[in-house]
Amino acid sequence: MITYMIKSLFKHPFTFSITIRSKTTSAQYVASRARDATFEKLMDKYKNFVKVIAIQDLILSNPNKTPPCISLDFLSKLSQKLHLNRGAPSFLRKYPHIFHIFYDPAKSQAFCRLTDTALEISRKEEEAVNASLPLVVDRLVRLLFMSTSKSLPLRAVFKVWRELGLPDDFEDSVIVKNPNLFRLCDGNEPRTHVLKLVGEFPGNHFTAVVENWRVTECCREDCSVDRMDIRYSFKHVYPPGMRLSKNFRAKVKEWQSLPYLGPYEDLMEKKKKTKAGLKGLEKRAVAIVHEFLSLTVEKMVEVEKISHFRNCFGIDMNIRDLFLDHPGMFYLSTKGKRHTVFLREAYERGRLIDPNPVYDVRRKLLDLVFLGRHDMLTSKSRSVEIDKSEESGSENENVD
């Protein structure tokens, strides 16, 4: 089949490939995608941020110790699993604003704890999550409503609990406390559970995020399009400077006008395998993953995690290829040995355009990852000055 190549005419950092159906392998398709320097720079640090979060969770899972800490010996045994290529001590020393290594003479062991700054960020994140519980419940209800059976495997929800802003004890604090909405049932396999939506909702109860965008577009003072013209459209954002051919623009315009069933509309019967029917199913799949990303705290998720929902949402196609087929809506990064997808329209210059309290707190920890070892000398100088001032103050008190 045909692969449409869009390349800039002059010196341009982007090369762009839109594949309708290609004979290339999936790996080749990923490798041929256009790179976005802003997202790649963000992911370059985010890949280590994921490791920082994993270590932070391990430390905080020892609440009996004050402050919570973990031995370096234990952490070193997990180095391979956590992808700490140069070992745990080396990784921890890269982020002195987050981790503090100390030696316990009583146990003859080195331990690691969170710095006061990192511990405070963790506490504020927990507060932000608890404060947004009504919103979290709504997210979970919407996720279940998009499922064809109004149910999801609990293990799939566990995969994205942090992305959805759920508390780490969401089984008790969210599911059990809302029996009018959720019910846990035994799955088909041993030791598996299924989360079911038991609340009754009318068909038009939920509005997809893209619908809000369409209304906003039509209400703009400089709007030159009719609502009927964009009733099936999605927002497309391309990297600055990327030049799009007339052929590509025509393809996008044709796709934008294609009718489809929204993510909260019931798919009563499978579409016939006609060209128009397949296009409609593909656009519905795009609408579902678009809504899924819109429901996440950071408008991003690992492809492997969202793939666990593919069958539940009735998506018959490869989700990763779906993201690659629509580069104006999604950006796929392969940094950190994982494929992560971003909702393009939600970001500007590497940050969320419309942030939320949980994102704001997490961003503070990410900023410490960006900081690395920088500013440590200044921090130490300040602490020394504070110590000296406290000492001189106490001496003056004694003199008095």
Lowest mean pLDDT among 164-173, 239-248, 363-372: 239-248
Residue 215 has pLDDT above 90, yes or no: no
Report the half-sphere exposure of 306 (CA within 13 A, side-chain side): 32
Report residue 296: phi and psi, to 5°: -80, 155
What are the Cα distances from residue 344, in Å, to 286, 333, 377, 390? 14, 12, 37, 50
Residue 315 has pLDDT above 80, yes or no: yes
* Closest to 14 measured CA to CA, from 312, 274, 243: 243
Q: What is the DSSP string of 142-188?
A: HHHHHSTTSEEEHHHHHHTTTTTT--TTHIIIIIIT-TTTEEEEE-S
Residue 2 has pLDDT above 50, yes or no: no
Once rounded to an integer, what is the mean pLDDT over residues 274-301? 93
Residue 218 pLDDT grade (very low, low, confident, very high; cuts 50, 70, 90): confident
The answer to whether 373 and 332 have CB atoms below 8 angstroms apart is no
Q: What angle do CA 296, 300, 306 make, to 5 degrees?
A: 80
Q: Which segment, 184-193, 332-341, 350-359, is predicted with the most confidence on average? A: 350-359
Q: Which segment, 64-68, 140-144, 195-199, is predicted with the most confidence on average? A: 140-144
Give the number of other Cβ atoms within 10 Å of residue 83's Cβ: 16
* Closest to 259 measured CA to CA, from 237, 288, 281: 281
Residue 221 has pLDDT above 90, yes or no: no
Q: What is the DSSP string of 105-146?
A: TTTTEEEEEE-HHHHHHHHHHHHHHHHTHHHHHHHHHHHHHH
Once rounded to an integer, what is the mean pLDDT over residues 376-399? 46
DSSP label of 34 = P
Lowest mean pLDDT among 6-10, 50-54, 300-304, 337-341: 6-10
The answer to whether 182 and 197 have CB atoms below 8 angstroms apart is yes
Q: Is the dihedral of CA 97, 337, 154, 74 positive or negative?
A: negative
Residue 378 pLDDT grade (very low, low, confident, very high; cuts 50, 70, 90): low
